[in-house]
Chain A
Amino acid sequence: MMDRNTIKNTGILEQYLLGELSEKESTDVENILKEDDELREYFSKMEDDMEQIALENAISPPTHLKTAIFNNIEKDTTHSDEKVIPLEKTKRKSYNFAIAASLATLFLLSSGWLYNQWKETEQTIVNLQQETDNLRTKLVNIEGDLKETNDWYRAINKPDVVQLVLKGNEKSPNSAAVAYVNHQNKEVILNPQGLSKLKNNNTYQMWADVEGEMIDMGVISSDVEMIKMKYIENAESLNITIEPAGGNDHPTVEQLISNVIL
């Protein structure tokens, strides 16, 4: 065994540091260093100095070298992995992978299917909504129509109501209108649908004859089913004439197409 001073003086530590010693000599030095704190401190400083020299004199290797080294190590690692890992494990790994892959596929397919279902349902809901809207509109219209019809029906279907048919004369032989007169309620309702079509600038107008004088009962719109006319007291007859559009103050007697005595 060597003592501390011998070691310091012989320069064996320097040789140990550089890696010049044989294995046995190295082990000897290591054992001594283990026991001797002071010597270890001395050696550690020497190491620091040597490292410093090397760092000061460093030469940067080309950058591609690092990549090459890491590629090699990667290869090395995967290679040794192949060697070490038993076949079973790789098999299980691939089973696991296969299971994971099939689960993923399954999930993907079901997701796609669900998405389709969802989209279809959404479309159906939109359609239903539209249909509901249409039906609601129709229903409102029908209700309106029904109410109107009911009103007309109630207005004419009374014992006090007198029904009069105004047939067209030779000027308008195909015309016919129905008037419903209620003396009790003082109402006149006319169904003008049977009247022949007129040119745009003409219209039918209704008159009441009171003691030889023709009194206006109103212009007859051609596009309605029923129309309420003015009730005139003490009327002796009802008359329909053709007048310029918008109606006239006095009847054009030559254009009288129908009259009925009350």
Chain B
Amino acid sequence: MKDDLELIKRLQNQDTKALSKVYDLYSGALYGVILRMCKNEPLAQELLQETFMKIWQKATTYNSDKGKFFTWSYRIARNITLNSLRKKENLIQNEDLSVYKDRSSSEEKIDTKGIVGSLQKLEPHHQKALELVYFNGLTHREAHEEMDVPLGTFKSYIKQALKKLRESYKEELVIVWIIIEMMR
């Protein structure tokens, strides 16, 4: 999974075609993150839009030496979503209860969109830990409280979860390799 540096260069030079390509590559992944964080489709659409506007405007500040392009985009999406949720929470605290009720009902509906792929193969507490920080946008501090485990334990959950993920990817690679070998 190497970044297409040429594509990113074009994006930084404000090439809308490059943005279109980036959108095709990452909009689904980012939308998945945003939607799981805010659990509200109209809002998630708005936030995805905001995210790509920011990716477009701030593209020149991305530095490939510091990390992958997706990591950078993910952080933007996450920050935008968290900011919006914080604002909304303030609103909910100040406004009447009906808004809060609406939100909780839509929350349940969205929750059925479960996690798929390699994450599913992890043990439940590892899966939950990664989900909380990655898809729910909780900080480590918030997440360990949510899971009701000490912060250190929570951190080791994340570490182990990632390690297991890496191993499962390797397994998949081996299976793919065996299939390719058999096809020869």
Contact = CB atoms under 8 A, between A and B. Distances in A.
Given A18-B133, A18-B134, A49-B165, A58 B31 contact: yes
Interface residues of B, number: 53
A49 B170 CA distance: 11
B28 A14 contact: no
Given A20-B140, A52-B1, A65 B53 contact: no
Contacts of B156: 11
Nearest to A45: B166
A52 B169 contact: yes
A48 B116 contact: no
Contact of A57 (B20, B32, B66): B32
A54 B65 CA distance: 21
Nearest to B156: A11
Interface residues of A, number: 41
Interface string A46-68: 11111111111111111001101
B84 to A, nearest CB: 15
Contacts of A57: 29, 32-33, 36, 115-117, 119, 135
A224 interface: no
Nearest to B57: A76
Interface string A1-27: 000000000110011011110000000
B63 to A, nearest CB: 9
A56 B118 contact: yes
A178 interface: no
A44 interface: yes
B119 A53 contact: yes
Nearest to A44: B68
Contact of B118 (A17, A45, A52, A70): A52
Interface string A116-141: 00000000000000000000000000
B12 to A, nearest CB: 14
B74 A19 contact: yes
Interface string B4-28: 0000000000101001100100011
Contact of A54 (B70, B79, B159): B70
B71 interface: yes
B27 A51 contact: no
Which secondary structure dominates chain B's binding surface?
A: helix
A255 B37 CA distance: 134
Interface string B129-171: 0100111000110000000000000011011001001100100
Interface string B46-58: 0011001100110
A72 interface: yes
Interface in B64-84: 65-68, 70-71, 74-75, 78-79
Nearest to B166: A49
Contacts of B166: 45, 49
B33 to A, nearest CB: 6
A11 B23 contact: no
B60 interface: no
A59 B139 contact: no
B169 A65 contact: no
Contacts of A70: 16, 19-20
A51 B16 contact: no
B140 A11 contact: yes
B1 A59 contact: no
The 9 closest A-B pairs by CB, nearest first: A56-B117, A58-B28, A11-B155, A19-B75, A54-B29, A61-B31, A59-B32, A51-B70, A58-B29
Interface of A: 10-11, 14-15, 17-20, 30, 33-34, 43-62, 65-66, 68-70, 72-74, 76-77
18 contacts: A11-B159, A19-B79, A30-B66, A49-B169, A50-B74, A50-B134, A51-B71, A52-B169, A53-B165, A54-B30, A57-B119, A58-B31, A58-B32, A61-B27, A66-B20, A66-B23, A70-B16, A77-B14
